[in-house]
Chains A and B, each alone.
Chain A
Amino acid sequence: MSVSSTIEQAVRVETKRQPLPPRERLEQVFDIQDLTAIYGSKPALKDVSMEVYKNLVTAVIGPSGCGKSTFIRCLNRMNDLVPSFSQTGTIRYHGQDIAAKDVDPVAVRRTIGMVFQRPNPFPKSIQDNVIWGLKVLGMKDNLSDRVERALTQAALWDEVKDRLKQSALSLSGGQQQRLCIARAIAVEPDVVLMDEPASALDPIATQAIEHLLHELKTEYTFVIVTHNMQQAARVADMTAFFSISRGGEGERWGELVEYDATEKIFTAPSDKRTEDYVTGRFG
């Protein structure tokens, strides 16, 4: 079995990271069982079952249309905003099923934050972007300290500390995305979901974001969707590979094919579909 050499390199570079302890010793943050997501009458995902572990970066990879974004948006109930959406299965977050109808999605999103593909800062000043969420969610003490801490963690403080009152829209794309990350972590979530956070950014900005993930995972748990396999190999501890299955009448839906430590996925995957994908035989 041959593996794309760039990925092999990436994985080898990353073997300086700590080997993962056995799964039984990892603390579970999410326990997803038989998750099926449906838009209208068409299933987008079927029977996804996996766990997400604390203080790790979990990557979700797969070809376009395999339901990666749908999956990650289930984790913080963002799909509720789509009128025709429905789901079955359970998503246990620290033991509590957040997919239940009686759970308040607003409460869910307070501990499970999200950063989106295209940077979407509020049309306010840089500091107001961070402060607004804090104020609304009632974290009004030590505002300036919290702002500084969030911007520092997002590796943006040095670049903006002299112009906090300027409009956030005057920042470059990479800076805006780091501001969005700062905004998300300022409200002290437990988990940060990221939907292709660097896909709209240039390589240098992408590198900055990946570095951030490495630094911040001691404090937060990350689940990141990426279409860039090298990125997954660089940043992720665990990787979940989704793929598209086809049905009788031309239906398509996404399925979880394999979920394992990143090294294993990229060097010795168990499923042939995974192997085909990571070796670039299909994209």
Chain B
Amino acid sequence: MSATGLTPLSRPSDRLTRRRIVNRAMELLAWLAAAIAVAILVIVVWSVAKRGASAINLDLFTKTQNALAQFGIGNAKQGLANAFVGSIVIVGIATLMALPFGILVAIYVNEFAPRAIRGGVSLVLDVLNGIPAIVIGIFVFGLIVAGHGQSGLAGSFALAVLMLPLVARATIEVLALVPDSLREASLGLGVPRWRTTLGIVLPQTIGGVVTGAVLAVARVAGETAPLLFTTSVVGTQMNWNPTHPLFSVPLAIFELSEADDPSSHALAWAAAFVLLMFILLTSLTARWLANRSRRKIGRVA
């Protein structure tokens, strides 16, 4: 470089062109990565659908397995109605267990706990969230099943333990979004703390709480390990009673895929497809709810 000013070593347009090419290449790479991610999802959905197509019909939802099939009588496996019913009952009860508990934990952490305890409980929730489902399964096995036998309730309990941190964390987040000025307004009237939380703060968080619940449901709907330990010795008949072991969709996928005949396999694929669709649907719902409640809270502030 000369001392009198800029003497470019190469023509400016060369450097610029090189920069433009690099820029373009990075953009392309990023786009490719995103496209691959989307493609993976599409491929998964597509292959599951294709393999299960033969079994996706009304019977899937209305008939159960044929117990006589092992003796060669009748169509081997007909439907998975008992699995769907079982899953709905198990996940439903799990939600009823986890939701109030999770909300109360969140209320304690955000509204009442001193700062030191707040950090501790949050840490506990994070750790709980990271515990593998199979560990929870074996824990519930030792706690409830050993000695009392399997039941849908034990399965619900295991799933509820998995759901708890998700519900609690989502609720803590939305509670923190409620401005303190609202709490002060209520407390300034002489309204006690708990009444303020129930009557003013909590109603503001309903959108976020429902989102958390939906996400938690999406998470546990497909968990197999806890159910293996707690509610897997099931018959082929329809059963609604949670005090008995209930069949479930993830379990159906597991067991049917190990069977010999192709119609079982098709059923397994069909079950996988329904599960996939359910999770897609709940994830989209959770996202829509989250956007809606974010807009609402925006208006309050």
Contacts and interface: CB of A to CB of B under 8 A. Distances in A.
B266 to A, nearest CB: 53
A113 B186 CA distance: 10
A251 B292 CA distance: 48
B190 A137 contact: yes
B185 A116 contact: yes
Interface stretch (A12-20, A75-83, A228-236): A75-83
Given A83-B115, A122-B182, A114 B300 contact: no
Interface in A84-111: 106-111
A120 B182 contact: yes
Contacts of A118: 181
B187 A78 contact: yes
A105 to B, nearest CB: 9
Given A136-B195, A169-B300, A109 B187 contact: yes
Nearest to A186: B189
Nearest to A84: B115
Interface in B190-205: 190-193, 195, 199-200, 204
Contact of B114 (A83, A109, A184): A83
Interface of B: 114-115, 179, 181-182, 184-193, 195, 199-200, 204, 299-300
A109 B190 contact: yes
Contact of B189 (A81, A113, A123, A169): A113
B181 A133 contact: no
A132 interface: yes
Contact of A120 (B181, B190, B191, B199): B181
* From B114, B191, B299, B300, residue with most partner A Cβ within 10 Å: B191
Interface residues of A, number: 29
A98 to B, nearest CB: 13
B189 A133 contact: yes
A187 interface: yes
Contact of B190 (A107, A116, A132): A107
Given A123-B204, A136-B199, A109 B184 contact: no
Contacts of A187: 189-190
Contact of A114 (B182, B188, B193): B188
A103 to B, nearest CB: 13
A122 B185 contact: yes
B184 A122 contact: no
A180 interface: yes
Contacts of A113: 188-190
Contacts of A83: 114-115
A23 to B, nearest CB: 29
A81 B190 contact: no
Nearest to B299: A169
Interface in A38-84: 76, 78, 81, 83
A172 to B, nearest CB: 16
Contacts of B186: 122, 133
B94 to A, nearest CB: 32
A104 B195 CA distance: 15
A143 to B, nearest CB: 15
A10 to B, nearest CB: 29
Contacts of B195: 136
Contacts of B179: 120
Contacts of B189: 109-110, 113, 133, 136-137, 183-184, 187
29 contacts: A78-B184, A81-B184, A106-B190, A108-B190, A109-B188, A109-B189, A109-B190, A110-B189, A113-B188, A113-B190, A116-B181, A116-B185, A118-B181, A120-B181, A120-B184, A120-B185, A122-B186, A122-B200, A123-B182, A123-B204, A132-B199, A132-B200, A133-B190, A136-B189, A136-B191, A136-B199, A137-B190, A180-B185, A184-B188
Interface in A177-232: 180, 183-184, 187, 189
Nearest to B189: A133
Contacts of B199: 132, 136
B194 to A, nearest CB: 10
